[in-house]
A and B are shown apart, each in its own frame.
Chain A
Amino acid sequence: MGMVFSILLLLSGWFISMAAVADQAELLSVHEVKAGFVYNFLLFTAWPPDQPAANPGELPVCVYARGAVADSLLALNGEPVDRLRIRIVLWPEFPGDCRVVYIGASERPRLPLILPLLAKVPALVIAEEEPEPNNGTIIGLFEENHKIAFVVNLHAMHEHRLLLSSKLLRLARKTIPAAEQ
């Protein structure tokens, strides 16, 4: 009896999913949109000139995230940014070569353990966060009313010796001035 009940539940799941598919077409997954943001951030970032990449011609984007968002970021592999090509590096042990670091929501509790490794690295540190950007990430991405928004921490930007274009800062939901820290 129980098994029959369970199979019925299983099947009803499929019917619901079929009915719901129509809803899906015009919506983009949050992970794809986040990857789009990351790509745009790279276009508006200037790295310190005295820090050439370990591999010429490459822009290493390091990803500390699991699941769908990591998959979406992987799709950026090989995309051009100026004269460089994006290279996605998953879970690097030595983030010293990273020029961009993406920290997913799943790693939020471990943020205090990841950030110290990035202290002297000239990398654009992006994290999925609650609206308030946490200690030390430059850009915080968050979701609000089914849209993605971001905040910029200028203090962290200076710490990592990066420059973000004024256009990026203008579109940020909020910029946290260096003095506030």
Chain B
Amino acid sequence: MTPIHRPPKRGIKPLSAGILVVCSWVAAADPAKPITERSLEDLLNLQVFSASKFSQRSIEAPSAVTVITANDIKTYGYRTLGEVLRSIRGLYLSYDRNYQYLGVRGGNRPGDYNSRVLLLIDGFRTNDNVYDMAYIDRSFLLDVDLIDRVEFVPGPGSSLYGSNAFFGVINVITRQGRDIGNGEASGEVAGFDTNKQRFSLGHRFENGFDALVSATRYESSGQDLYYPEYAAPDTRYGRADGLDGERQGSLFARFAHGGWTLQSGLTQRRKDIPTGQYDTVFAASGTRTLDREAYVNLEYQSQLTSSTELSARLFYGQYLFNGSYVYPDFRNHDQTHGQWWGGEVKWFSTMLERQKITFGSEFQLNVHQDQYNYDSWSATGNRVENLDDHRDGDRFGFYLQDEIDIVDGLKLNAGLRHDRYSTFGGTINPRLGLVYQPAPATAVKFIYGTAFRAPNVYELYYWAPGPSGQKPNPHLDPESIQTYELAVESHWAGWLFTGSLFRYEIHDLISQSLDPNDGFLVFRNIGEARIDGVGTEIERAWSNGLRLRGSYSWQYGEDTATGRWLINSPKHLVKLNLSAPLCDERLRLGFENQYTSARKTDNGGEADGYFLSNLTLTAQRLMPGVELSASVYNLFDVRYFDPVDAAHRQDMILQDGRNFRLKLTLRF
């Protein structure tokens, strides 16, 4: 495959030069007497900047945020971001042996590309500019070993983040050079003929300069699979042997000094498709997808005055998709090339008494949003063009949020954002949160908000000729959601308790349907849905090192037009994560249990509910600088299926049985 890369055409350089000028100004401020030479009396009388909130509020929301740390990732042996997210209250996964799809509180329609969650890396929006997809499998930009923490904020985030912050916002915070020390080398072998290597260098230098560079390589042969839907002599009796391979590589770099952070990442993943998706020739090798995403994010944060902070970023992103599909006489190639850049400025101020005001503005220029599709015929060597669609566009938004201390123990958090798209026009999204603290350890929160998802370029302009083809619809409007949530958070006798009650109302859902006039599939704003639910979570750590996190959520999603239960929407989700030290903390055991109840499939069938257990044993103190871990996934070898979309002959796809992983990490 030939990558279709073009260098950015315009304008990052002059802007960054402007930023540099400001930076040198700030750096020129007088260095004060060393802080260690000041006495306590002296310190007590010093005037200080008011408390910085930027660093603490990577995601600020009046809702119940869940945090998964690097320790959890290690303890429970998570291999992808998807697995990290699956351990969070109300979230679930499905996998069609091509991509992992995230379900949030009962919303995960097969065929949708994770476009209803916003996935940020240190504030950079990773959703691409063609499918708007949040990549949570190995096509995610970052090796999970480089994650410091993952924060998940359920509920609408459009009042702060704009499009895609529909069901929730995931913010991934990366490790820094200082967390690495000097270097790390990690290797793993796993079932299904899998191996992975990572090499990272990181350091914080005396002058405060922090650097981290890392490279990862992953390869898996995958499994030999059997699909009864293809159990016929001309489809190899349903056997797909050696067609589940996956290869992935990624690079990551992060440099920080003073208020500046520059980071960049690149990932490429190739996945063979064993399922006969899109009516391709079953059990023929060569049907596969390749995703590549790259980004650069330059961020500057500064305390302007005693009560004002500024943060600004410039970003550049690139996405390439190359799908190759084998048909009897030809091979179909589906390609996408996205390229974008933009900037954001955000002020945070406590200038007004009892108020915290955030004001910001963001823009993005989509330089390329191109889609190609062609057939190459093996017999004649002919190439038949089906689609050669070039788009560009832009979006901009500005937002205002104010957190007001009405009286002690009662806070109002009000936010509003306006977004304008070159494709459909404008939309305004508010969020109101009322936080009441009847006691220091208890908070009751009421949140109302709306969010939207802009129609993406794929839905607007993708065109496929032929008998069951697809036609564009450039008149799509954004989808919208209205949510009401009541949440309680409390600390009680060492227990952390969270409970929530919510209603989601979804309008103008972009759904694919058949146009009876011409027989073409087309995306339209025709879906309406409602999801009601409750969720509860407990967490506790004991002084002997035992840790527990458990959650239960019930949700019911209904298509309000038909009154039917939503597809791929489990009613019950249970998670139980237990971690215990063994042999005087030399070993740590991580035991994860999840229950996902039955889900309806696209063809009216039902995927049974299932229990999934994973066990990881980590040895960190056997020798200095050496860490060894062993994991067994799907410990009890449970057979379970995930519903998949109509592009498959299968209604649901069997998931991995029991498999293992051994991992060795050396620190130097």
Per the bound structure, the CA–CA distance linking A7 and B398 in Å amounts to 12
Contacts A36-B36, A148-B43; A2 near B394 (Cβ below 8 A): yes
A5 and B396 contact, Cβ closer than 8 Å, known pairs A21-B29, A146-B50: yes
Residue of B nearest to A36 (CB): B35
- Asked whether, in the complex, the Cβ of B25 is within 8 Å of the Cβ of A113, the reply is no
Separation in Å of the B291 CB from the closest CB of chain A? Answer: 28
User: In chain A, what residue has the closest Cβ to B618?
Assistant: A93
Report if A30-B304 is in contact (Cβ < 8 Å); known contacts: A5-B396, A6-B361, A6-B363: no
**Which of the listed residues A14, A29, A74, A111 has the most CB atoms from chain B within 10 Å of its own CB?**
A14
Instruction: State the CA gap A105–B60 with chains docked (Å).
Output: 14
Known: A36-B43, A93-B71. A74 touches B48 (CB 8 A): no
Q: In the complex, are the beta carbons of B310 and A113 less than 8 A apart?
A: no
CB of A31 within 8 A of CB of B52, answer yes
A88 to B: closest C-beta gap in Å: 9
Q: Are A10 and B50 in contact (CB under 8 A)?
A: no
Chain A residues, Cβ within 8 Å of B398? 6, 9
The answer to whether B305 and A24 have CB atoms under 8 Å apart is yes
Which single residue of chain A is at the shortest CB-CB distance from B421?
A2
Binds A, one of B456-464, B488-496, B503-511, B513-521: B488-496
Whether a CB of chain B sits under 8 angstroms from the CB of A158 is: no
Enumerate chain A residues within 8 angstroms of B30, measured Cβ to Cβ. Answer: 25
Contacts of B45 in A (CB 8 A): 147
B55 near A106: Cβ-Cβ < 8 Å: yes
A93 to chain B, nearest CB (A): 6
Q: Which residues of A contact B491 (CB under 8 A)?
A: 111-112
CB distance from B367 to the nearest CB of A (A): 12
- Interfacial chain A residues near B44, Cβ < 8 Å: 147-149, 171
Q: Kindly list chain A residues whose C-beta atoms are within 8 Å of the C-beta of B48.
A: 27-30, 33, 143, 146-148
CB A18 to nearest CB in B, in angstroms, measures 6
Chain A residue numbers with a CB within 8 Å of B496 are 109-110, 112-113
The distance in angstroms between the C-alpha atoms of A1 and B655, with both chains bound, is: 49
Q: In the complex, what residues of A have CB within 8 A of residue B232's CB? A: none
Taking a contact as CB atoms under 8 Å apart, the answer to whether A116 and B541 are in contact is yes
- List the B side residues contacting A149 at CB < 8 Å: 44
A68-B55, A149-B44 known; A132-B50 Cβ under 8 A: no
CA A36 to CA B554, docked complex, whole Å? 49
| A81-139 interface with B by 8 A CB criterion | 90-91, 93-94, 96, 104-106, 109-114, 116-117, 119-120, 130, 132, 134
A17 touches B302 (CB 8 A): yes
Considering the complex, which residues of chain B in the window 471-494 have a beta carbon less than 8 Å from any beta carbon of chain A?
489, 491, 494
User: Which of B18, B44, B310 has its CB near the most chain A CB atoms (within 10 A)?
Assistant: B44
Query: CB of B208 within 8 A of chain A?
Result: yes
Known: A110-B67, A112-B541. A30 touches B208 (CB 8 A): no
A177 to chain B, nearest CB (A): 19
Q: Are B18 and A14 in contact, with the CB atoms below 8 A?
A: yes
Q: Is B541 a contact partner of A90 (Cβ separation < 8 A)?
A: no
User: Which residues of chain B are near A20, meaning CB under 8 Å?
Assistant: 304-305, 308
In the complex, the answer to whether A17 meets B310 with C-beta atoms within 8 Å is: yes
Which of A66, A69, A93, A147 has the most B CB atoms < 10 Å from its CB?
Answer: A93
A56 contacts B by Cβ under 8 Å: no
| CB closest chain-A residue, reference B179 | A90
A116 touches B396 (CB 8 A): no
8 A Cβ contacts from B543-578 to A:
543, 545, 547
Which of A16, A113, A148 interacts with B539 by CB under 8 Å?
Answer: A113
User: Does A58 sit at the interface, judged by CB under 8 A?
Assistant: no
- Chain A neighbourhood of B19, CB < 8 A: 14
Contact (Cβ within 8 A) A10 B46 = no
Tell me whether A50 is interfacial, beta carbon within 8 Å.
no
- Return the chain B residue nearest A79 by Cβ: B36
Q: How far is the CA of A17 from the CA of B345 in the complex (A)?
A: 12
Interface residues on A, range: 35 or more
The reply to whether A168 and B40 form a contact with Cβ atoms under 8 Å apart is yes
**A40 at interface by CB-CB < 8 Å:** yes
Task: Give the distance in Å from the alpha carbon of A111 to the alpha carbon of B491 in the complex.
Answer: 10
**Contact of A66 with B35 at beta-carbon distance under 8 Å, contacts A28-B48, A105-B51, A146-B50 already known:** no
Contacting A at CB under 8 A, from B47-101, are 47-52, 54-56, 67, 70-71
Contact of A10 among B54, B179, B345, B621 (CB under 8 A): B345
Counting chain A CB atoms within 10 Å of each CB, the highest count among B35, B55, B542 belongs to: B35
Task: Tell me if A's interface is mostly helix, strand, loop or mixed.
Answer: helix
Whether B363 lies near A7 (C-beta < 8 A) is yes
**Do the beta carbons of A3 and B39 come within 8 Å of each other?**
no
Q: Which residues of A contact B343 (CB under 8 A)?
A: 6-7, 10
Q: In angstroms, how far is the closest chain B Cβ from the Cβ of A160?
A: 12
Question: Which of B36, B45, B47, B539: most chain A CB closer than 10 A?
Answer: B36
Say how far B316's CB is from chain A's closest CB, in angstroms. Answer: 15
Q: Is B295 an interface position by the 8 A CB rule?
A: no
Write out the residue numbers on chain A whose beta carbons fall within 8 Å of the beta carbon of B43: 33, 36-37, 40, 148
A11 to B361, CA, bound (A): 11
Task: List chain A residues, Cβ under 8 A from B381.
Answer: none
B69 — nearest CB in chain A belongs to which residue? A91
Q: How far is the CB of B18 from chain A (nearest CB, A)?
A: 6
B420 within 8 A of A: yes
- Nearest CB of A to B152, in Å: 14
Residues facing A in B314-363 (CB within 8 A) are 343, 345, 347, 361-363
- Determine the chain A residues whose CB is within 8 A of the CB of B70 once the complex forms: 91
Contacts of A36 in B (CB 8 A): 35-36, 38, 43
Docked-complex contact A16 and B304, CB < 8 angstroms: yes
Which of B382-427 touch A at CB < 8 Å?
A: 394-396, 398, 420
Complex CA distance for A120 and B363, rounded to whole angstroms: 52
Residues of B within 8 A of A79 (CB): 36
Minimum C-beta distance from B539 to chain A (A)? 6
| B649 located at the interface, meaning its Cβ lies under 8 Å from any Cβ of chain A in the complex | no
CB distance A76 to B36 under 8 Å?
Answer: yes
Asked if B29 and A146 make an inter-chain contact with CB atoms under 8 angstroms apart, the answer reads no
| B376: Cβ under 8 A from any A Cβ | no
Among candidates B40, B208, B302, B545, residue contacting A171 with C-beta atoms closer than 8 Å: B40
Chain B contacts for A117, CB-based, 8 A:
541, 543, 545
Q: Is B620 part of the contact surface with A, judged by Cβ < 8 Å?
A: yes
Question: CB of B1 within 8 A of chain A?
Answer: no
Q: Which of A3, A14, A116, A148 contacts B543 (CB 8 A)?
A: A116
- A67 contacts partner chain B, Cβ-Cβ < 8 Å: yes
The residues in A between 37 and 90 inclusive whose CB is less than 8 angstroms from any CB of B are 37, 39-40, 44, 66-69, 71-72, 74-76, 79, 90
- B120 interface residue per 8 A CB criterion: no
Contacts of A168 in B (CB 8 A): 40
A29 / chain B contacts, CB cutoff of 8 Å? 48-49, 52, 303
Contact B49 A40 (CB under 8 A): no
Q: Determine the residue in chain A with the shortest Cβ distance to B300.
A: A17
**Minimum C-beta distance from A35 to chain B (A):** 6
Q: A5-B396, A13-B347 are in contact. List 11 more A-B contacts (CB 8 A).
A: A2-B363, A3-B394, A32-B35, A93-B71, A109-B489, A113-B540, A130-B440, A147-B45, A148-B43, A148-B44, A148-B48
In order of increasing CB-CB distance, the 8 nearest A-B pairs are: A67-B55, A6-B363, A119-B543, A36-B35, A2-B396, A20-B304, A113-B541, A9-B361
A-B contact pairs, 21 of them (CB 8 A): A3-B396, A5-B361, A14-B18, A17-B26, A21-B25, A24-B303, A24-B305, A25-B29, A27-B49, A29-B52, A37-B40, A39-B36, A67-B56, A94-B585, A96-B585, A111-B491, A112-B496, A116-B541, A117-B541, A147-B45, A148-B48
